[in-house]
Amino acid sequence: MNTIKDYIGEHKERFLDELKELLKIPSISADPAYKSDMLKTAEAVKERLMEAGCDLAEVCSTPGQPVVYGEKIINKDLPTVLVYGHYDVQPPDPLDLWDSPPFEPVIKETKIHPEGAIFARGACDDKGQMYMHVKALEYMTKNDELPCNVKFMIEGEEEVGSEHLDWFIKEYKDRLANDVILISDTGMIAKDVPSITTGLRGLSYVEVEVTGANRDLHSGLYGGAVANPLNVLSKMIGSLTDENNHITIPGFYDKVEQLSNEEREKMAEAPFSLDEYREKLDIDAVYGEEGYSTLERGSIRPTLDVNGMWGGYIGEGAKTVLPSKAYAKISMRLVPDQDWKEITELFKNHFESIAPKGVRVKVKPHHGGFPYVTPIDTTGYQAASKAYEATFGKTPIPQRSGGSIPIVSLFEKELESKIILMGFGLDTDAIHSPNENFGVWNYFKGIETIPWFYKYFTKLSE
């Protein structure tokens, strides 16, 4: 297995060029205008899987965006690893905050990545991390190092809630049979501090609409006499948390898992500098729920955040109007044992109940997913830990993540196998933000580490 470093060194420019070509395609699942680019990306992933050594790869139609399936079966008596990833990306807006065009990937040196980082939408989330697995497969097949069977399920709707993946899994359940599911769509603590994600938060995403008068009104003639939907919406949102940043929706915390003091103390042992955290974000103070640390607020506690808010006039200059409508998009990150469907209903009932007279309120649910926690005593986790030890020279730290992969809990339920989250991103990669990037070192380190997982998982499964 030592030849993996040599193989990467020999092919690194090609590995980077192939990823850049994938990043050039604007596979934005949230916008129907990019439907053809979604299909183009799926076809490209299928071709790369075949080139990497899959015996079968195909673009599978769904009621939504297609799923790319691939497989390399060497012996049906051996274990099977199912790799999950996604080829869709977040919208790149706001475009004016990018230092380079989001779909024209460039490699630039940074303080954290002196060897360079790839800047493009999807560089880390998730094209770069997904493509590590394709290149790891290439190494294993070309060098006769693949010790077990491997399957790929690469979807195109993760960034919009994986709405049709449930359908795909049930339709192709027999084909997707596996012994462990391997995902790289998370991160690690630092380049010199490997970690394995053991928990993900769930998600409830809604859009709200507040309507006042039947048209925009002159703010001089009507201001102060008629409800302003933007003012009302601001007050309604403001009331959703109290002075301790505790969410005020009745029943919201009823099923929240309470970690013991021992578990919280163990979490606090993870390397973390509050000063560095503030410096990276260019903020002078942190903010959040009273009684919890920054690490806890970002992983084991639920949240409610406004992701966007609009209404009225936002063009150049001034226009004095009371808008007829105001809107907001709101996400709630959830923790065990919250049910995203229950939380969505609680939000809807509460938000409608606090609307004052003079306005009408609509709550439109978008998508969601359940929180997930994976045990650390499974064969898969032990294999991942040994893989990191082989390439980093140290034992990885188990860590809960604040992010969400909405479909993960469904995998375990429908496919009856555990999920291993081997992420190689960093919290500075600006995923979902302008100037998203993925370190070249991290990209190659992932390709180097993944084959070791296959080796140890096969060995430990004997």
- 455 vs 375, higher pLDDT: 455
CB 30 within 8 A of CB 19: no
Q: pLDDT value at position 345? A: 98
Has residue 177 got a pLDDT over 80?
A: yes
| The predicted structure's pLDDT at residue 292 | 96
**184 shares its domain with 209:** no
The strand pair at 195-200 and 217-218 is best described as unpaired
Beta-bridged to residue 363, according to DSSP, are 208
Question: Considering the domain boundaries, does residue 266 fall inside one?
Answer: no
Q: Are residues 246 and 333 in the same domain?
A: yes
Are the C-beta atoms of residues 148 and 18 closer than 8 Å to each other?
A: no
Q: What is the pTM of this model?
A: 0.86
- What are the phi and psi torsion angles at 91 (to 5°)? -55, 145
In this structure, the answer to whether residues 31 and 127 fall within a common structural domain is: yes
3-state helix, strand, coil in the chain (%, to 5): 35, 25, 40
* Domain presence at residue 112: yes
| Residue 277 included in any domain | no
Q: How many structural domains does the chain have?
A: 2
Q: Quick one: 189 and 227 in the same domain?
A: no
Last residue of a domain, one of 369, 385, 407: 369
CATH of the domain at 153: 3.40.630.10
Q: What is the CATH number of the domain that holds 343?
A: 3.30.70.360
Residues pairing with 58 in the sheet: 69
Looking at the structure, do residues 443 and 312 belong to the same domain, yes or no? no
Q: Give per-residue pLDDT as tens, 189-243.
A: 999 999 999 999 999 999 999 999 999 999 999 999 999 999 999 999 999 999 9
On whether both 187 and 89 belong to a single domain, the answer is yes
Question: Do 174 and 307 have their domain in common?
Answer: no
Does residue 148 share a domain with residue 228? no
Q: What average pLDDT is seen over the chain?
A: 96
pLDDT beyond 70 at 2: no
Residue 165, in any domain of the structure: yes
> How many residues are there in the chain?
462
DSSP string, 33-53: GGHHHHHHHHHHHHHHHHHHT
Q: Give tens-digit pLDDT for 123-138.
A: 999 999 999 999 999 9
Distance between CA 51 and CA 44 in Å, rounded? 11
pLDDT at 89: 98
Read off the amino acid at residue 314.
I
Domain boundary, last residue among 369, 385, 404 = 369
Q: For residues 89 and 232, state if they share a domain.
A: no
Q: Is residue 296 part of a domain?
A: no
Same domain, 110 and 127: yes
User: Do residues 214 and 324 both lie within one domain?
Assistant: yes
pLDDT in tens, 233-268: 999 999 999 999 999 999 999 999 998 888 888 888
> 95-125 pLDDT, tens per residue?
999 999 999 999 999 999 999 999 999 999 9
- Pairing verdict, β 360-369 and 149-155: unpaired
- What is the predicted pLDDT for the residue at 1? 63
Which structural domain range is residue 313 located in? 204-256+302-369
Last residue of a domain, one of 369, 385, 406: 369
In degrees rounded to 5, what are phi and psi of residue 2? -65, -20
The per-residue pLDDT for 263 is: 84
pLDDT digits (tens, 9 = 90+) for 373-419: 988 999 999 999 999 999 999 999 999 999 888 788 889 999 999 99
Whether 293 is covered by a domain: the verdict is no
User: Do 306 and 211 belong to one domain?
Assistant: yes
163 inside domain = yes
Position 297 in a domain:
no
**pLDDT above 70 as % of the chain:** 100
Per mean pLDDT, which range of 283-297, 397-411, 432-446 is the poorest? 397-411
pLDDT at 201: 95
